[in-house]
């Protein structure tokens, strides 16, 4: 079976993520140690115990990446053919790890620094993101353009589900306008950083420098959030990943572009994309979140 590997992004974190892997597998324990050493943080405490750090961007990102990386390492020995890796937002960095573009320690350092750069861009302003349900893309795009507000489309998740990013006060102003135009639901998210919009421009150049330091020259195919097309070289990554901060995530476009290249999708370290995929494709998406689901997915592929 040809498998498209999927990796969730920020917002999928929860206390207890990865604990079943850690308790059951020496490889998982080893990867926790590598991550902890990389940024001098106790990842067991970060991911298994109630704490405030798990929801801080600079720690959320490495925690999610570690969870997905462990799921991938335990899954990769299954009998399947690799089609491509596709991550949603932060998940693109997990996808790069799975594709052999970056070592685990460097990936942890990279997304930790990415989180800090994103926070720094919002030191003097308050950003946020907002989910809009029930309107077509063009209608929302036109509303954003005509509003004159600092608000942009950020995540094209599925038909009828688009996430906006921008200044919190501007998103709040846009909420009644979207409802008047027929949105079924408009929900402001509890975030202070607006991802995938021009407000993160200041983080792009420093991120490129980090990517240049950490990425390998060639790797397996990864589908870009920016272009919805696959790439497999450092040169391409250095063009795409810095602007990924300021450009929208073309998730549904990516699935539609590559669904025929895979017989099945496997989401590593979450179930969020499985839910979104039901609205995009008829291809099945199976999640790997613990040892039981790992065994179930492997049995499905090998059966």
Active site amino acids:
89, 196
* Residues whose CB is less than 8 angstroms from the CB of residue 222 and which lie 6 or more positions away in sequence, other chains included: 84, 85, 86, 87, 92, 95, 96, 99, 101, 230, 231, 232, 237
Query: CA 269, CA 68: separation in Å to the nearest integer?
Result: 4
Query: CA 208, CA 205: separation in Å to the nearest integer?
Result: 5
- Please state, as a whole number, how many other Cβ atoms lie within 10 Å of the Cβ of residue 211: 21
What are the b/e assignments for 271-291, b being 16+ CB within 10 Å? bbbbebbeebbeeebbbbbbe
What are the b/e assignments for 105-130, b being 16+ CB within 10 Å? ebbbbbbbbbbbbbeebbeeeebbbb
The whole-angstrom distance between residue 152's C-alpha and the CA centroid of its chain comes to 18
In 3D, which of 98, 85, 71, 95 has the Cα closest to residue 262?
85
């Amino acid at each position: 079976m040809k498998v498209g590997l999927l990796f969730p992004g920020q917002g999928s974190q929860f206390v207890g993520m990865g604990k079943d892997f850690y308790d059951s597998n020496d490889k998982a324990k080893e990867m926790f140690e590598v991550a902890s050493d990389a940024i001098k943080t106790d990842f067991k405490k970060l991911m298994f115990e109630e704490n405030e750090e798990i929801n801080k961007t600079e720690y959320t990102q490495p925690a999610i990446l570690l969870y997905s990386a462990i799921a991938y390492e335990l899954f990769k020995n299954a009998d399947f053919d690799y089609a491509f890796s596709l991550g949603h937002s932060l998940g693109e960095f997990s996808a790069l790890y799975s594709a052999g573009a970056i070592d685990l320690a460097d990936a942890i350092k990279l997304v930790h620094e990415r989180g800090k750069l994103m926070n720094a861009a919002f030191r003097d302003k308050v950003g946020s993101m907002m989910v809009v349900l029930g309107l077509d893309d063009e209608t929302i795009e036109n509303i954003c353009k005509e509003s004159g507000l600092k608000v942009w489309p950020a995540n094209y998740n599925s038909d009828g589900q688009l996430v906006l990013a921008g200044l919190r006060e501007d998103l709040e102003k846009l909420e009644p306008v979207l409802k008047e135009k027929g949105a079924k639901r408009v929900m402001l998210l509890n975030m202070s950083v607006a991802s995938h919009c021009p407000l993160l421009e200041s983080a792009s150049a420093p991120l490129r420098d980090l990517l240049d330091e950490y990425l390998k020259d060639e790797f397996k195919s990864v589908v870009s959030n920016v272009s919805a097309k696959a790439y497999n070289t450092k040169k391409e990554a250095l063009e795409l990943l810095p602007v990924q901060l300021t450009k929208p995530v073309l998730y549904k476009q990516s699935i539609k572009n590559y669904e025929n290249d895979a017989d099945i999708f496997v989401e590593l370290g979450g179930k969020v994309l499985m839910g979104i995929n039901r609205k995009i494709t008829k291809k099945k998406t199976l999640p790997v979140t613990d040892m039981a689901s790992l065994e179930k997915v492997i049995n499905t592929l090998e059966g």
